[in-house]
Structure 1
Amino acid sequence: MSWHAIDALDDARSATTGLLLPFDLGTWLRLALLAVFVGAGASSVSVNVNAGGAVTPGLPGAPFEFPFRDLSLPTPETLPDVRTLAFGVAAAVAVLLALAFWVVSAVMEFVLVTGLVDPPVRIRAPFRAQFGNGLRLWAFEACVGLLALLVVGVPAALVVLGGVAVGPGLLLALLPILLVGVAVAFLVALLVRLATDFVVPAMLAEDCGVLDGWRRVLSTVRAEWEEIALYLLVRLTLSALVGALVAAGTLFLAVLVALPFAVLGGAVLVAFSALGGLSLLAWTLLAVVGACYLLAVAAASALLLVPAVAFFRYYSLFLLGRVDEGLDLVDATRATDGDADRGDGGVGTGGPPAR
């Protein structure tokens, strides 16, 4: 018995090779940008910046004072209030940026599928065309996330605020909630995986909304649940392997590109130390050097993710086309029929056909 979830791997490999080779810088850069937002479902590279302290310009221990008292600038007495306000503003900006990134990521899911189905990969025009679909996908993910938060957060809050003393009793009371949280997290991850891998192509194929896309996909999942289960198992295994490889490659590149930035940062430290100490300008320059280093590492990691992004999305598209011809965006049936003629298991044209 031939399993579509296994056969689709070869189709995905052939389509990925046809898309990425021969090398085209524009295609790789656009896919790297998409990788920043959609990832590969295999790994994620994040940089956590802790800004819990405050940098005081001048010599260590020297108080920070403004020389112009007549400009209504903060005084030492009002500085704590200013810090609180600044923290609140920074938190609000961070939340808005995270929300915007989330929305753009949902739109980019459709941009990626559009580019893989009908190359060359483009960004701007598909983004404008698919913005509405992206908002619908984001709304679905937000509702699922909010529901999961309520299912786990409300009981946890009731236990913590219910007067249970901190100790073994509290831990024992929270244990069932923790187990439920693990199950809910698994369910949310499964729903998001099915949404990005199958519902997004279904919305494009049927020109429908996210709920109609789910109805269409669920009928296929019920009919071909063995194939879908095997796909999820294979994808999880490959994702773990690819994630380890990408993490190792990113670490290697991070060490490789660190040398020039370390030399530049050291030069700034030596120069300003010779001038009498680290001033505000020195800290600013060091922050710029550090930010450029992080951007360089992030760009290198995104380029490493390009083959994985293309392969995994092609894998889901070919499987979906094999189990449901009505949702076939990449002519998986033609690729299947062509296996006997070509003997390579690839797509007939060496890449996805234009639609």
Structure 2
Amino acid sequence: MSWHAIDALDDARASTADLLLPFDLGTWLRLALLAVFVGAGASSASVNVNAGGAVTPGLPGASVEFPFGELPLPTPETLPDVGTLAFGVAAVVAALLALALAFWLVSAALEFVFVTGLVDPPVRIRAPFRAQFGNGLRLWAFEACVGLLALLVVGVPAALVVLGGVAVGPGLLLALLPVLLVGVGVAFLVALVLRLSTDFVVPTMLAEDCGVLDGWRRVLPTMRAEWEEFALYLLARLTLGALVGALVAAGALFLAVLVALPFAVLGGAVLFAFSASGPGALPLLAWALLALVGACYLLAVAAASAVLLVPVVTFFRYYSLFLLGRVDEGLDLVGATRATDGDADGEDGGGAGTGGPAVR
């Protein structure tokens, strides 16, 4: 018995090579930008910044000694009132939330742009983004509703337990244990729904020109009928994702070290230039230039890591597209039916390949 979830791996590999090779800078850069938004589990890096200086403890009016001067510590008289402080915190939180929601919405729209580029190369961004923004908004609303529902399922029981008069201590932890177990199960279900939505409902919406719920209604019978194939797909994707994730993390670390060399030289030049001007602490301009060098370094590492993710995200998305096309001919966007026929001919001695991506 031939498993479509296994055969689709070779189809995805061949189509990824066809799209990315021979190397085209424009294609790679556009896919790198898409990888930032639809990336297959990119790793994050933390940066620790340590500003040297001695803190003088004790009395109000003490100061922190920085290389560029002394800054007075705040005193109760210099602190803003509670209302102003609360307004400032709320404004910062609102701004960060707005940025996160905007990034989320753009990511949802670019899911469709990504599939469109793989199905009908060359990869484009601006025109497909305008055309698919409505679908992206629908996907974003669906994901938001799923997340809100999960939050209510876990948050309401947790709030009832916490506000139910249970004293803080072992008893409260024991009462929250069932809620935590439910939360783990809900988190797993949410991750599964969102994964299936991205991998299979998005191409279904493109193939059938429908919304998210109609896309789920269209593809769900196929998932039920071929549940073994989709279960094997999830297992293969999880396993390959872990292996590839480790390789990508190692590659990103190597790139971070490699990219650091020119920026280290540049930072050293800044230090030498200002230290040569005379003894004493570095001026504020020097620290500003060093901060700019550090920001450019982080941007360069992020860009290099995004390029590193291009073959990864391309392969995994082709994998889902070829599996969907193999199990449901009506949702075949990449010529998976031809690939299946070629496999059959190959078993009979004919032999045929995938031939790259094709449009229905």
Please say whether Structure 1 and Structure 2 have the same fold, judged by a TM-score greater than 0.5: yes
> Could you list the runs of 5+ residues in structure 1 that have no partner in the other structure?
66-73
Task: Find 1:307's aligned residue among 306, 311, 317.
Answer: 311
Q: 1:338, CA displacement in angstroms?
A: 2.2
- String of CA shifts for 1:275-324, please: whole Å, max 9, x gaps: 64244433332322221111111111111111111111111011101111
1:258-273 to 2 correspondences below 5 Å: 258-272=260-274
Aligned position for 1:69? none
Hey, what's the Cα distance between the residues in 2 that align with 1:192 and 1:87?
A: 32
Q: 1:78, CA displacement in angstroms?
A: 4.6
Letter in 2 for 1:44: A
Q: 1:269, CA displacement in angstroms?
A: 4.2
Hey, what's the Cα distance between the residues in 2 that align with 1:165 and 1:346?
A: 67
- String of CA shifts for 1:232-281, please: whole Å, max 9, x gaps: 11111111111111011101111111222233334444555656424443
Aligned position for 2:26? 26
Hey, what's the Cα distance between the residues in 1 that align with 2:208 and 2:215?
A: 8
Q: 1:75, CA displacement in angstroms?
A: 11
Hey, what's the Cα distance between the residues in 2 that align with 1:278 and 1:164?
A: 56
Aligned position for 2:358? 353
Relative to structure 1, the CA distance from residue 174 to residue 335 in structure 2 (aligned partners, 3 Å threshold; closer, same or farther) is same
Hey, what's the Cα distance between the residues in 2 that align with 1:186 and 1:64?
A: 49
Q: Report SS of the residue matched to 1:165.
A: coil
C-alpha RMSD of the superposition: 2.8
Aligned position for 1:63? 71
Relative to structure 1, the CA distance from residue 149 to residue 57 in structure 2 (aligned partners, 3 Å threshold; closer, same or farther) is farther
Aligned position for 1:16? 16
**C-alpha contact 2:68 2:284 (8 A) present in aligned 1:** no
Aligned position for 2:160? 158
1:104-253 to 2 correspondences below 5 Å: 104-253=106-255
**C-alpha contact 1:10 1:346 (8 A) present in aligned 2:** no
**C-alpha contact 1:250 1:301 (8 A) present in aligned 2:** yes
Relative to structure 1, the CA distance from residue 345 to residue 295 in structure 2 (aligned partners, 3 Å threshold; closer, same or farther) is farther
Aligned position for 2:61? none
- String of CA shifts for 1:36-62, please: whole Å, max 9, x gaps: 00002xx323345789x9x97965772
1:335 aligns with 2:339: yes
Hey, what's the Cα distance between the residues in 2 that align with 1:229 and 1:278?
A: 60
Task: Find 1:289's aligned residue among 284, 288, 293.
Answer: 293
**C-alpha contact 2:8 2:319 (8 A) present in aligned 1:** yes
TM-score, scaled to structure 2: 0.87
Hey, what's the Cα distance between the residues in 2 that align with 1:49 and 1:255?
A: 14
* Worse-superposed segment, 91-100 or 245-254: 91-100
* Worse-superposed segment, 260-269 or 244-253: 260-269
Letter in 2 for 1:301: S
**C-alpha contact 1:253 1:300 (8 A) present in aligned 2:** yes
**C-alpha contact 2:335 2:359 (8 A) present in aligned 1:** no
Letter in 1 for 2:143: E
Q: 1:94, CA displacement in angstroms?
A: 1.4
**C-alpha contact 2:222 2:327 (8 A) present in aligned 1:** yes
Aligned position for 1:70? none
**C-alpha contact 1:58 1:278 (8 A) present in aligned 2:** no
TM-score, scaled to structure 1: 0.88
Relative to structure 1, the CA distance from residue 352 to residue 191 in structure 2 (aligned partners, 3 Å threshold; closer, same or farther) is same
Hey, what's the Cα distance between the residues in 2 that align with 1:97 and 1:345?
A: 48
Hey, what's the Cα distance between the residues in 2 that align with 1:44 and 1:225?
A: 28
Q: 1:97, CA displacement in angstroms?
A: 1.0
Hey, what's the Cα distance between the residues in 2 that align with 1:267 and 1:87?
A: 39
* Worse-superposed segment, 214-223 or 271-280: 271-280
Relative to structure 1, the CA distance from residue 255 to residue 83 in structure 2 (aligned partners, 3 Å threshold; closer, same or farther) is farther
Larger RCO: Structure 1 or Structure 2 (Cα < 8 Å, ≥ 6 residues apart)? 1
Aligned position for 1:93? 95
Hey, what's the Cα distance between the residues in 2 that align with 1:286 and 1:149?
A: 43
Q: Report SS of the residue matched to 1:119.
A: coil
- String of CA shifts for 1:189-234, please: whole Å, max 9, x gaps: 1000100000000000000001100101111111111111111111
- String of CA shifts for 1:134-193, please: whole Å, max 9, x gaps: 000000000011111111122222323333333222221221111111101100010001
Relative to structure 1, the CA distance from residue 88 to residue 219 in structure 2 (aligned partners, 3 Å threshold; closer, same or farther) is same
Q: 1:84, CA displacement in angstroms?
A: 5.5
Relative to structure 1, the CA distance from residue 306 to residue 62 in structure 2 (aligned partners, 3 Å threshold; closer, same or farther) is same
Letter in 1 for 2:296: C
Q: 1:20, CA displacement in angstroms?
A: 0.6
Q: Report SS of the residue matched to 1:26.
A: helix
Relative to structure 1, the CA distance from residue 189 to residue 241 in structure 2 (aligned partners, 3 Å threshold; closer, same or farther) is same
Aligned position for 1:68? none
**C-alpha contact 1:268 1:282 (8 A) present in aligned 2:** yes
Letter in 2 for 1:215: R
**C-alpha contact 2:42 2:309 (8 A) present in aligned 1:** no
> Could you list the runs of 5+ residues in structure 2 that have no partner in the other structure?
54-63
Q: Report SS of the residue matched to 1:329.
A: coil
